[in-house]
Amino acid sequence: MNLSGTVLKGRYCILESVGKGGGGKVYLARDLELGVLWAVKEIPVSGKSEARMLLKLSHPSLPKMIDYIEDDRKCYLVMEYVRGKSLGEYLRDGKRFSVNEIVKYGMEIAEVFSYFHNRKPPVYYGDLKPDNLMLGENGRLYLIDLGGAVNGYKYQHKVCTGTNGFAAPEQYEGKINAATDIYTFGKTLSVLCKKTDYLLFIRNMSLFWLIFRCCMKKPGIRYQNMQTVQKKLNRIQKRQNQSKIKNMLVLSGSSIVFAVIVVFLLFSSNFVSGSKPFNFYEELTAVTDLYYQEEFQNGSKADQEKICKQADTRLRELQKECTEKEESRKILQLLAVNSEYQKSYEDAGLYFEQMLFYDETYRAGYGEYGMFLLRTGQQEASQTLWSEYKSKETMLDDTVSRNLRLWEKEMTEIEEKQ
């Protein structure tokens, strides 16, 4: 039933419906006493816990609750009216968010989540997504719709609302805690990143790493509190500002290659799904974490070489313990990238060859090796690999990567010229 024209409590005149959220419609209403506009959310009486929660919360990023009305069937939450659009609406309109914007929004979300989690009892939001983030005309980001929020300590065994694609795996078991909100936080930032210039994010690997760690399937591997996330975001923002001052230093060709391959490894579907044994991925994460240290990102050449040697040692140790096909190819690919970064091209080539020996059906692996050969001036060797690739094409898996697409394009052009 549309409430347009209805006057609630003899004071709030409903003007029009402006959306839905958390199990109820949201209306725009005029205050007949003050003449100002408010947002009125209509929810079932069974959902009035949202009203009780809003009354206890006070934060600049939360719309203030002004009044509460209840009848036999419905509850009405009269709240501050935020003029603006949700980030979800901006995305659907084709908006491309910059790294600076995403980091800024991430810091604002982390701040309000930190406020939630530090309350006694803590509050877990449970349903973060771009549609629940309203960018006001004043430039502030507002968290709207607390219909899925719950109070509690540690895991709460109850029905927890969430949105498919954003909800953490444990939410489907009726569990929620701080790590759950961190998962939805990572998923939200990931969606905001999707339409942004790819190389721009390659230049900020720390942001990729932050999102990756937040989105781990197993809660114990994610960041465990929002304070840690805030520190990471502050560091990323500081580096962004430093990059502006330095006139946006461009990564060297080998650094971009290194970054692209590491991103591919970290975000491949099999890796993120956690379908392989937990201990292997925990160890591999510890190795890749070395590349995101301050010493590697902004250190001297000697510092970077030292870290590469540490990574090489750890990967070799891991290689002795993990011998399954997919594990071996991931380790060998990282060893190859690590060697190439150190300009040990002969070693890198051997690692790429071993990678394909362990898994000759690894389609993306041919692209990684093929582009390495082209980068190092070995066009003839790349053509030989191309012939092998074409002869095995029907038996190759469906993995893809940016380098695979580039290699296919390069080799096709070479063939056409011959």
> Binding site membership for ATP: which residues?
41
Buried b (16+ CB within 10 A) or exposed e, 37-76: ebbbbbbeeebeebbebbeebeeebbbebbebbeeeebbb
Question: What is the distance of C-alpha 16 from the center of its chain?
Answer: 35
Single-letter amino acid code for the residue at 21: G
- Residue 121 preceded by cis peptide, ω within 30: yes
Single-letter amino acid code for the residue at 288: T
Closest CA to 132 of 112, 117, 151: 112
395 contact partners, CB below 8 Å, separation of at least 6: 361
Q: How many CA atoms lie within 13 A of 346 on its CB side?
A: 0
Binding site as annotated, residues: 41
Residue appearing with tokens 């974490």: 289
166 contact partners, CB below 8 Å, separation of at least 6: 127, 128, 129, 184, 187, 188
What are phi and psi for residue 293, nearest 5 degrees?
A: -70, 155
Q: How far is CA 289 from CA 2, 284, 293, 296, 303, in A?
A: 54, 9, 7, 10, 15
Q: Is 167 exposed, middle or buried (0-12, 13-18, 19+ CB in 10 A)?
A: buried
Sign (positive or negative) of CA dihedral 269, 194, 171, 289 = positive
Contact 46, 38 (CB under 8 A): no
* Helix residue ranges per DSSP H, 151-273: 178-193, 198-202, 205-214, 226-245, 253-267, 269-273
| CB atoms near residue 10 (< 10 Å) | 8
